[in-house]
Structure 1
């Protein structure tokens, strides 16, 4: 990817410049909130670096997306504004477009996939946009938005593949450097790539002008990681299937324009597992008191997983961008449980035993003696693998971590039971 010797030439040939990002910032004055950098001592102790969190989860409409959407729409001609706009999104871009349309007095239609999180759906409607539910993913919704544009003349506001969108998102980079001019590594999630591309242009050009080196790292969910194969092939390689709790970055095809920038400027792209994302979300809730959606937590997940070290990066001052905080409360419940389980603090076991008095009491006593806390018990007397007089018992319990969970399992096995750990 990036090489210091060619950065000056790259800055002159890229489709978005620092000057365009600075002009975008002027447009956004009074529209967006310059979000804070929050010092995370907990992450600092784990990584050995000074770590700050760029809190775009506190942005208007709950994510960074309003930046690019407003810049793109504010630059439309009067005739284009009269035709209205159309967009497709799983939630964050939808809210950004809806909010921008409301501020600019424009009509907006938003296509959202079936099954979109209800809070994101309602928030988009509350901003005054017309919402149409269609398709199973963002790519299908985007195709519908394109058809609507061809039929009506409405201007498509793409979530990431446009110069104005990238310039708007790049204003985050300017804010980071103003608050922490000594930062040496910035890490954030990637979906289509608009955020990463914009920040990379702003930060790399500012660093070049001051003679500094600042690394830019992107993070994708393992099950929605189109950038690693695309970068390896030096061409956009779409995925045939994406599946991740991080719906904000569940994009199967990199944007052509962001890809061009990321290929030239970004220092590395890593992936994180679903368990790592869930663990990061719980970590942010507990240690930073931050409500962050899964897509917004992937940078922290990468730091917790030691992904910088895998790239051979030793960072003294790191900024992780929390790109959004729009999470469905029902998903949050599931993710919290998954995160606790991944951290060894929530244990579910299934045990087959004889259906006779005293068995449950014995198991409960064993668990109590280990100081684990039972939160749910479920009996099953019917099943293909159950014999007459047998029962399955499933127990959910809170534990203090992986070692404590192993202690509980060991005590149950010592008593003659065969607990099976359930996901």
Structure 2
């Protein structure tokens, strides 16, 4: 993917101003993990249930009148889909979202309810980017990439601007759920003095491996199944790697059971509902895989989970 421009700290700050004009801050809540008191940023309380609303709004609200008239296309398992669909509905822009057929039903329904047209593909089996490319070629729409877009990265970074204002200083570290690396990259720009710790599912640490090797690594056909449907991009992108190199450590991975334990902890101790992918950073903290101190912030990135699987998790 060609990089037309790089995201910047000024862009993150501009995105934060735009988002503050239409959305309240999400809470920064105290949490006790072991003997350490630290913080969680409850992005699961966004209107669409995930942080993706930030990048979606910054990207779509910056489109020209001509671009808006052409409509937008996005590829997503559900949260970016809703972020783009929400922004598109607010701005009167036609949105088409390419989503996996096995995406959680709650995410498919919510995306359609926001007025977006949903095109399904088989995962594994079909190349989602190829499906999107065919739509883009036929319609001339604008691609809004889930993580490899400078506006999206800047929009996600607005969460770091909020954290700094709420904490009164930059955090020492931000432990964040990580799929393609859009949020991690944005946070690294917003909070340059903080250590960024990406957390990915076991076998899907494409950002971590890219940071370790200094090159894009693709998931193999034998990549394990994970309950973190939101954290399964086949690879990060050059723009994300370029931003994160020198600003982030390779990060850590978490198992499905560690994620489930984090979902139970959030329910019982924080009274918050988290989807599996939205609980990955908390899982790393609870499992002792990420260092914590009083100025550490854990990102709770999404809460879009279906009732049956969630009930099974928290009652196990």
Specify the TM-score bucket, using the shorter chain as the normaliser: over 0.9
In the other structure, the counterpart of 2:181 is: 193
- The answer to whether residue 252 in structure 2 is matched with residue 270 in structure 1 is yes
- The answer to whether residue 21 in structure 2 is matched with residue 30 in structure 1 is yes
- The answer to whether residue 171 in structure 2 is matched with residue 171 in structure 1 is no
Distance 1:178 1:138 in 2: 45
Distance 1:328 1:90 in 2: 14
Higher CA-based Rg: 1
Q: Which of residues 117, 123, 128 in structure 1 aligns to 2:104?
A: 117
Distance 1:116 1:266 in 2: 30
Deviation, 1:196, is: 0.5
Deviation, 1:252, is: 1.7
Query: SS where residue 245 of structure 2 aligns?
Result: helix
In the other structure, the counterpart of 2:262 is: 280
Task: Please say if residues 89 and 138 of structure 1, whose CA atoms lie closer than 8 Å, have aligned partners that are also in contact.
Answer: no
TM value normalised by structure 2: 0.93
Distance 1:216 1:190 in 2: 11
Map 1:124-163 onto structure 2 (within 5 A): 124-136=111-123, 140-163=127-150
Task: Please say if residues 49 and 317 of structure 1, whose CA atoms lie closer than 8 Å, have aligned partners that are also in contact.
Answer: no
In the other structure, the counterpart of 2:212 is: 232
1:280-316 per-residue CA deviation (whole Å, 9 max, x = no partner) reads 11111111111011111111111111112xxxx4633
Deviation, 1:223, is: 2.7
TM value normalised by structure 1: 0.70
Deviation, 1:26, is: 2.2
Output the aligned Cα RMSD: 1.8
- The answer to whether residue 64 in structure 2 is matched with residue 86 in structure 1 is no
Map 1:256-335 onto structure 2 (within 5 A): 256-308=238-290, 313=291, 315-335=293-313
Map 1:382-401 onto structure 2 (within 5 A): none
Structure 2, gaps ≥5 residues long:
none
Task: Please say if residues 38 and 293 of structure 2, whose CA atoms lie closer than 8 Å, have aligned partners that are also in contact.
Answer: no
In the other structure, the counterpart of 2:50 is: 63
1:192-221 per-residue CA deviation (whole Å, 9 max, x = no partner) reads 0000000111100xx4xxxxxx22111011
Which has the larger share of helix?
Answer: 1
Distance 2:312 2:148 in 1: 32
Task: Please say if residues 219 and 302 of structure 1, whose CA atoms lie closer than 8 Å, have aligned partners that are also in contact.
Answer: yes
Task: Please say if residues 67 and 142 of structure 2, whose CA atoms lie closer than 8 Å, have aligned partners that are also in contact.
Answer: yes
User: Residues 216 and 56 of structure 1: is their aligned pair in 2 closer, same or farther, counting only changes over 3 Å?
Assistant: same
Q: Aligned residue pairs: how many?
A: 309
1:339-385 per-residue CA deviation (whole Å, 9 max, x = no partner) reads x4xxxxxxxxxxxxxxxxxxxxxxxxxxxxxxxxxxxxxxxxxxxxx
1:128-164 per-residue CA deviation (whole Å, 9 max, x = no partner) reads 1111222215983332112200121011110010110
In the other structure, the counterpart of 1:219 is: 199
Structure 1, gaps ≥5 residues long:
1-13, 208-213, 341-423
Deviation, 1:258, is: 1.1
Deviation, 1:222, is: 0.5
